[in-house]
Structure 1
């Protein structure tokens, strides 16, 4: 039986145990990995993620005459109740409930009348690995609750609602990428997403390549403060050029102004502007199956994150270098996610997956006293009713 089948069966069984009956409808939403385009989203730029088969599943049933949403989190074995007759606001504990409350509040602000219902939610998206378990939760709740209310949200509206929940209830000023790819992902496809217009186009993943995510298991420290600092530096660069975002600055304009910019601001801007160019070029290479070009673009992306944006750490650089030495021009590898630890993503031919995993299992613990964790992924469908 598939991973997804096991999860659906488990969530259904928990629903029966907690509420004494079977759920009437099931929903799913995936996590995601970003193939290229890092820290470009909040600069109104381009990203190239794909949804992955790790997912969050929601089991649901209407409760006629009820003014409550009762939701049981299978991952935490906790029940949380939302009174629909009261204004929905954040709570101190449990923290997971604020994602639910944020989605509910956003749907109500959009004019949906939510019905009383019982819900069980749980997932297998690895938490703390930068694979967007929170966006997966927001998207499955948004689609499930809006469907129960009789007005299923479009992928775009679902993504915007989830981002609003993240900003207002979870306290994270994230971009739109995670939510939109979880809402709109398609099997076998990456998405080239314009983070300004929210338009996106599907980009077929070459059948010859597998997506291998390797978690460094480096504890990510100071991520929020460093993230906010990078964001402020990018905004300072955009302000210098008198534009809304670095999306509107070309590399030629940046080079011409280098002498007038602080070296740090120049470096941060150079990463974002060049990364936007690489992301669009990578979509073309992926679509045409030009693995050699894709390999070079992913290598340049990693170097830019390391040298200009300063968000990699030695363990991540080590993993990228070791994978690159094995795959050469047959695949690509780079850090993925916000930085300061977390994961790398490799696009590899099937025959290199096992050699890469075996090699890293030997050399990484010896060099960094940490064990790598491997996730072999497929580009998967976005949020949907099951």
Structure 2
């Protein structure tokens, strides 16, 4: 990729002069993105309250928790012995309080189950994942079949599919944790490696991140659909004529499934607005229509923060189903806001106009007749030579 620098800029004659002072000297390459210092207090408080009430089997407000002493959680670990018989082991957690959870989430950016000897809060029907890789092939002696392994999903016994393999291969029973983990790692990687924004690797990882975010929304909605169809929770409804077809539908239309199934309203406008933006970028970068792209680092920081809002939107979906967030989703929700870091902070920064960055290459710009008119100064970049056959 050609880097636009002061040394290769040529200015046309006009009445304007420009501040071309170089970047402030720093140790190592400049990173254009970073994370803010403080975590989101509102998310921490809401997550902590949800967790504290879940384990205490209560519905206390924050002010009510202030009046409470530390409590314990009684829970049971159920396993199967070598004979397939169920074995239950009772546990009593360490004492905890809402304030303990707030402190831990703020300091660690994650929820530590082991510290309190608490069970995983994840809903099995949504998050329980069994991933198996088979590196052997065991044909039967004297018969034309081989040893097979089968995995059951947590969507009820009536769900018709059971992943099965009888030779080298793999099987997955849920994609929730795979997608959430990938989104969390990629968002951090893009910020920490924002000195590499000019590389193909950075761009491809951004494309992957955008795609995974939309896929997680789609996957969550389909988990709701199948759970309602084959193993509905109390109070859920499954009316195919109301829900409509699963395929050939706009993602934004399928969001209505949450209310149509659970009866709870999915009301988080910031998350829905962010999802529209991320989905449109995903579509652009999947189909490369239009076949060009421009973005500024300021826009990139905004997009990475839109992803945080989409994760909060998914959290709200779970709340509509009375489903707790998984540990991996909690960690993702607690990721900090991204912000743009200019290489020379001493320069005044003017507001972005409609004729720069993504608006110059978006599908909307193409549909509306092309790139908006530029400002008073524009430099055309084009190849300096061309080789043609005679």
For normalisation by structure 2, the TM-score amounts to 0.25
Indicate the structure with greater strand content: 1
For normalisation by structure 1, the TM-score amounts to 0.25
Indicate the structure with greater helix content: 1
Larger radius of gyration: 2
